Amino acid sequence: MREKLLSIGDDFWIENDQGQRAYKVNGKALRVRDTFVLEDASGNEVARIQERKLSLRDKVAIERGGDTAATVHKALIGLRDRFTIDVKDGADMKAHGNIVDHEYEIERDGHTVATISKKWFRVRDSYGVDVAAGQDVPLILAITVAIESLTTH
């Protein structure tokens, strides 16, 4: 993923480990809230990531098929960056580590489901998302986009 391209109105591709375009993040411009659409390589929407700003703390909803699949929000406690991810049909997750520098993990039930790292790349403004086997890849990528949108504002 390319962090500098994650701004309203910008689109960018997420490539797999072979460098092939696997998902596109389509930034929807001119909206009241930040909205991103995660599309598969064929252009089919697999998730909609949309900020909700009318609550005590900003949060981002991830929608699939018109229903909220997960909600990402920043934890209020602690000095380190932490996010909680409320998953509608599954166990909740949390993200912790150095979010701003893209060195963090997403966990569910004490098990790492994804590792996000900038260290794997020499290309400036790029970072990798290593999703554990058997995980819902589009959901994990949508969570990563949601966390990015909450930390860049």
pLDDT of residue 30: 43
d(CA 89, CA 105): 21
What is the set of domains in the chain, with CATH numbers? 3-151 (2.40.160.200)
Q: How far is CA 44 from CA 83, 86, 149, in A?
A: 28, 24, 22
CA 121/CA 49 separation, integer angstroms = 26
How high does pLDDT run on average in the chain? 81
In sequence order, what are the residues at sequence separation of 6 or more whose Cβ sits closer than 8 angstroms to the Cβ of residue 135? Answer: 113, 114
pLDDT digits (tens, 9 = 90+) for 25-50: 887 654 445 688 899 999 999 998 88
Question: What pLDDT, on the 0 to 100 scale, is given for residue 7?
Answer: 42
pLDDT digits (tens, 9 = 90+) for 126-150: 788 999 999 999 999 999 988 888 8
> pLDDT at position 78, please?
57
